[in-house]
Amino acid sequence: MFVRQSTLRVRSWRRLLPAVAGVLVLGTSLAACGSSNSDSGSSGSSTSASSSDSGKKPVRIAMLGYDNKNNFTQWWWEGAKAEAKKQGVEVTLVDGKFDAKAQAAALQNTATSKKFDAVAVLPVDGQSLLPVVKQAGDSGLKVISGATLGNVQETNKLDPKIPEVQSVVGYETTYQAEIFAKNIKEACDAKNGPGAPCKVGLMPGAAKFPTDALQMQVVKDTLKGDKNITFAIAPDGGYARPGGYKSMTTFMQSHKDIDVLHADGDQMIAGAVQAIKENGKTPGKDIWLTGYGGTTEGFAGIKDGSWFGTVVLYPQRQARTMVDFATKAVRGEKVPPTYDLQKEPAGTVVQLTKPIMDQNPDLKGEWSEAAPR
């Protein structure tokens, strides 16, 4: 079930790791600084490269992220800047403020300002943003979306839905949750032996958030045939290290015998590690950990054995692809209607465990709970 996020609720999730619609992300530090542009709704910086020498049509792209203070958005912005330099186009970071109404207003301002040819957007609320995207497209903007617009069930499949969206470059919500379940099952079998009883804790970022609610249900449904696995829900971890620490500290008061913990965000796992140690237990030995995000912290935890696995997100590749598609669309070139970042190109790593990491030694996390420097 999807409930449209209220302004108040979304504001309380400024550290969301979306997915988004996917996507779960952490925000703690300011994004790249720049002068505010009240006409376009921009509160980030711009970067540009001249395309006049090449004779190609100049392209100006608004990059409308979740929140300029959000680390996932900041790492996404790094990818956008790199691709803009490569393509010889201009990109401007526009603040979505992790607020459905604010992001919609920023998109409207972006369209009416006539300062942009295209917009690449990471939707805070795909349901409420859908009619605004249609208006933006009707005004002449080429639109590249980071998720299928609509209710949370519709994010299970990438789909432009309306002709005003040139392409959706993102992730499928249920597909990711099925990998969560796979990591949990493999962690249980590795710790206790195949078929042995296994107690699993599930830590949502915000249990009432539609994406979290859907993904936690998919995990349970996927593993419901395994009667040896039982679940308990931990308090919300708030998509951040401090929240993960607080949640796990509370959870372990009544669940000291937990075998595996899955958190809907790598940042929360980082906090849970501290709580586990303070309770006299060893991460990776007494309690096995699976996360979501593919952060550099997740890669490090899997490498040193304190984490079992995670699911990898690719914010910089997402931004680069969105800038590329937006540029092509403005210049009249054809772009694919969808691009699944976890299925394209073939062989993309989604599930990340130690054996998979060993098979892909050059693979690195594209983002961190620390801000880009």
Asked if residue 254 is part of any domain, the answer here is: yes
Residues 244, 271: contact at Cβ < 8 Å?
Answer: yes
Whether 31 and 162 share a structural domain: yes
Residues 279, 250: contact at Cβ < 8 Å?
Answer: no
Neighbours of 243 (CB within 10 A): 24
- Coil, strand, or helix at residue 7? helix
Whether 179 and 113 share a structural domain: no
Whether 15 and 155 share a structural domain: yes
- How far apart are alpha carbons 93 and 91 in whole angstroms? 7
Of 64, 65, 58, nearest to 84 (Cα)?
58
**Is 50 exceeded by the pLDDT of residue 350?**
yes
Phi/psi for 264 (5° steps) reads -85, 50
Report residue 54's pLDDT band, with 50, 70 and 90 as the boundaries.
low
Whether 156 and 14 share a structural domain: yes
- How far apart are alpha carbons 370 and 305 in whole angstroms? 21
Asked if residue 369 is part of any domain, the answer here is: no
- How far apart are alpha carbons 6 and 110 in whole angstroms? 23
**Taking CA 280 as the corner, what is the angle to CA 279 and CA 281, rounded to the nearest 5 degrees?**
95
Whether 229 and 256 share a structural domain: yes
Residues 127, 2: contact at Cβ < 8 Å?
Answer: yes
Of 133, 61, 45, 53, nearest to 328 (Cα)?
61
**Taking CA 14 as the corner, what is the angle to CA 9 and CA 19, rounded to the nearest 5 degrees?**
90
Mean local confidence (pLDDT), 273-294:
97
Asked if residue 232 is part of any domain, the answer here is: yes
> Residue 13 has what pLDDT?
41
> What kind and span of H or E run contains 351?
strand 351-353
Asked if residue 217 is part of any domain, the answer here is: yes
- How far apart are alpha carbons 218 and 183 in whole angstroms? 13
Asked if residue 147 is part of any domain, the answer here is: yes
Neighbours of 190 (CB within 10 A): 15
Whether 62 and 13 share a structural domain: yes
Whether 60 and 140 share a structural domain: yes
Look up the domain containing 242 and give its range: 175-312+349-359
The better pLDDT of the pair 308, 23 is held by 308
> Residue 46 has what pLDDT?
72
**Taking CA 82 as the corner, what is the angle to CA 78 and CA 86, rounded to the nearest 5 degrees?**
165
Whether 35 and 138 share a structural domain: yes
Mean local confidence (pLDDT), 25-43:
33
Whether 224 and 104 share a structural domain: no
- Coil, strand, or helix at residue 55? coil
Whether 159 and 191 share a structural domain: no
- The pair of structure tokens assigned to 116 is 């942009």
> Residue 19 has what pLDDT?
37
- Coil, strand, or helix at residue 298? helix
**Is 80 exceeded by the pLDDT of residue 301?**
yes
Q: What is the CATH number of the domain that holds 297?
A: 3.40.50.2300
For the chain, what is the mean pLDDT?
Answer: 88
- How far apart are alpha carbons 72 and 245 in whole angstroms? 20
Q: 232 - beta bridge partners?
A: 201
**Is 90 exceeded by the pLDDT of residue 33?**
no
Report residue 218's pLDDT band, with 50, 70 and 90 as the boundaries.
very high
pLDDT digits (tens, 9 = 90+) for 120-147: 999 999 999 999 999 999 999 999 999 9
Report residue 57's pLDDT band, with 50, 70 and 90 as the boundaries.
confident
How far from 145 is each of 55, 134, 195, CA to CA, in Å?
28, 12, 42
Q: 263 - beta bridge partners?
A: 203
Asked if residue 236 is part of any domain, the answer here is: yes
Helix, strand, coil fractions of the chain, as percent rounded to 5: 40, 20, 45
Asked if residue 16 is part of any domain, the answer here is: yes
Determine the distance from the C-alpha atom of residue 343 to the mean position of all C-alpha atoms in its chain, rounded to a whole number.
15
Mean local confidence (pLDDT), 287-300:
97
Whether 194 and 133 share a structural domain: no
Whether 229 and 104 share a structural domain: no
Of 273, 231, 230, 233, nearest to 249 (Cα)?
273
Domains held by the chain: number: 2
